[in-house]
C-alpha cells in the first residue's frame, strides 16, 4: 500500500521550535514527530511513502533517509511553490498508484487505517475520509454522513445550533487515482474546499472511528500530545519503552534526585541532588538538571542545562538552552534553540523566546 504525506507547511504556529528545525523532525518524546506517522502506516501494511515537502525539505530528508530504518520505501517530492493540498497531490501524480492514502503530516493518531481501507473497498468509494470525534467541533469542519457512510454535507466552523455530530475529518484519506483528473495541474487547489464538495453524492464516504487524534500544531498541543504518549492514551511504540510503570530511564543517566512517572529520561542526563523530575516530563539526551530544581509537565530537548533551584512547569525548552539558577519557566513558555536565560528570571504566560536570545540575570519578570 502507498501513502502520500503532506508536510509542506513552515510550522509557524509551533515556533520557536520550528525556527531552525522543520516541523516533521521536531523531537516528540523520543523520536522525530513524523516517525509516529511512519510507524503507524507500517503497522497497517504501508510500504511505500511519498513525502510532499516544502519548507526545509533537505533537513527532513537528512533525518529520515530512504525509509529503510522504518521498513519502507521513502521518496520526497518538493513543490516549487505552495499548491494547496490537492495541488501538492497533483504534483506527485507520476509516482502514485491506482489507490493510495493521503495524510496530513501534522497529525498524531491511531486511527484504524486497515478498517478504513476495508470499508473503502466494500463501498466502491472514490474517496473515504477518516472521521474522528473531538470534544469541541466548533473550531473544525463537521462531516455529516448518511446511514451507509456516504458523505451528505460539510459544515465549516459550525455555530452551536449547527452541531449535531462531533465527527471531524482526521486528515487521513483513502483515494482512487481518478480523483487526480479533477485537479488542474500547476495550480493552488484545496482538496477540502474544492474537490470534496464536488464528490458529495458521487463516491465520497466517511469512516467513523473512536480513535485518538491530535493536531500537533501549537506548543499547547505539542505538550498535550507528549503527555498523551507518556500516559498511553495513544497507541505508539513508546509504550514498549515505558512499560507498565510508565517510566523509562536510559542507561547512562545519572540520577541523585527523584523521577516521578510518567516520565522518560534519556542517556547522558544528570539530575542533581534534591531535584524532582516528573510527572509528565521528557528529558532528552545530555540534559543537566541542577540540585533542588523541579521539572513537571515539561519537555526539555537535548543538551539543555537547567540551573539550581529552578522551576519548570508546563513549558518547552529546546536543544542547547541554558537556564540560570533560581529561574522559573512556566505556564506554556517556550525557549528556542540555544537560548540563554540568566539567574533569577521568570518566563511565563506563553512567552516565546526565539533561538539565540540571551537574557541577563534578573532581566525578565514576565
Active site residue 157: yes
Rounded to whole angstroms, the Cα distance separating 140 from 69 reads 35
The pairs formed by 309-314 with CB atoms below 8 angstroms and a separation of 24 or more are 314/223
Instruction: Show the CA angle centred on residue 225, arms to residues 224 and 228, nearest 5°.
Output: 85
Which residue, 160, 158, 130, 124, is CA-closest to 145? 130
Which grid coordinates are listed for 196? 470534496
Rounded to whole angstroms, the Cα distance separating 351 from 318 reads 14
Which grid coordinates are listed for 275? 531535584
Rounded to whole angstroms, the Cα distance separating 23 from 359 reads 26
Which grid coordinates are listed for 251? 542507561
| Helix residue ranges per DSSP H, the chain | 33-43, 57-64, 84-91, 113-123, 196-199, 219-231, 238-242
Q: Which of 23, 90, 157, 365 is catalytic?
A: 157
Q: 172: which strand partners? A: 103
Asked if 43 and 49 touch (Cβ cutoff 8 Å), the reply is: no
Rounded to whole angstroms, the Cα distance separating 151 from 202 reads 9
Q: 108: which strand partners? A: 214
Rounded to whole angstroms, the Cα distance separating 319 from 298 reads 14
The secondary structure of residue 327, as a DSSP letter, is: -
**Active-site annotation, residues:** 157
Amino acid at each position: 500500500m502507498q501513502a502520500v504525506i503532506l508536510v509542506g507547511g513552515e510550522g509557524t504556529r509551533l515556533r520557536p521550535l520550528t525556527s531552525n528545525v522543520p516541523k516533521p523532525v521536531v523531537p516528540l518524546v523520543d523520536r522525530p514527530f513524523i516517525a509516529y506517522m511512519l510507524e503507524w502506516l507500517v503497522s497497517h501494511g504501508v510500504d511505500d511513502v511519498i513525502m510532499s515537502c516544502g519548507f526545509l525539505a533537505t533537513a527532513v530528508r537528512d533525518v529520515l533517509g530512504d525509509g529503510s530504518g522504518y521498513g519502507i520505501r521513502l521518496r520526497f517530492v518538493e513543490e516549487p511553490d505552495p499548491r494547496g493540498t490537492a495541488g501538492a497531490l497533483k504534483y506527485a501524480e507520476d509516482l502514485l498508484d491506482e489507490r493510495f492514502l493521503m495524510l496530513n503530516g501534522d497529525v498524531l493518531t491511531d486511527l484504524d487505517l486497515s478498517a478504513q481501507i476495508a470499508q473503502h473497498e466494500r463501498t466502491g468509494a472514490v474517496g473515504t475520509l477518516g472521521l474522528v470525534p473531538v470534544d469541541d467541533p466548533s473550531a473544525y469542519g463537521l462531516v455529516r454522513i448518511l446511514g451507509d457512510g456516504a458523505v451528505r454535507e460539510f459544515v465549516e466552523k459550525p455555530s452551536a445550533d449547527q452541531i449535531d455530530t462531533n465527527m471531524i475529518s482526521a486528515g487521513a484519506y483513502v483515494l482512487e487515482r481518478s480523483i487526480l483528473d479533477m485537479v488542474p495541474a500547476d495550480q493552488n487547489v484545496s482538496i477540502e474546499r474544492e474537490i470534496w464538495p464536488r464528490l458529495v453524492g458521487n463516491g465520497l464516504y466517511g469512516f467513523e472511528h473512536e480513535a485518538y487524534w491530535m493536531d500537533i500544531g501549537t506548543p499547547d498541543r505539542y505538550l498535550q500530545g507528549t503527555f498523551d504518549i507518556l500516559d498511553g492514551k495513544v497507541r505508539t511504540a513508546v509504550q514498549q519503552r515505558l512499560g507498565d510503570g510508565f517510566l523509562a530511564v536510559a542507561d547512562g543517566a545519572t540520577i541523585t534526585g527523584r523521577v516521578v512517572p510518567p516520565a522518560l529520561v534519556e542517556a547522558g542526563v544528570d539530575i542533581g541532588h534534591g531535584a524532582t523530575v516528573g510527572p509528565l516530563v521528557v528529558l532528552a539526551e545530555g540534559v543537566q538538571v541542577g540540585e533542588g530544581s523541579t521539572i513537571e509537565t515539561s519537555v526539555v530537548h537535548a543538551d539543555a542545562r537547567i540551573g539550581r533551584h529552578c522551576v519548570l512547569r508546563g513549558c518547552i525548552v529546546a536543544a542547547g538552552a541554558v537556564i540560570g539558577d533560581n529561574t522559573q519557566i512556566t505556564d506554556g513558555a517556550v525557549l528556542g534553540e540555544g537560548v540563554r536565560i540568566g539567574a533569577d528570571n521568570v518566563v511565563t504566560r506563553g512567552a516565546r523566546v526565539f533561538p539565540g536570545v540571551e537574557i541577563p540575570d534578573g532581566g525578565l519578570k514576565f
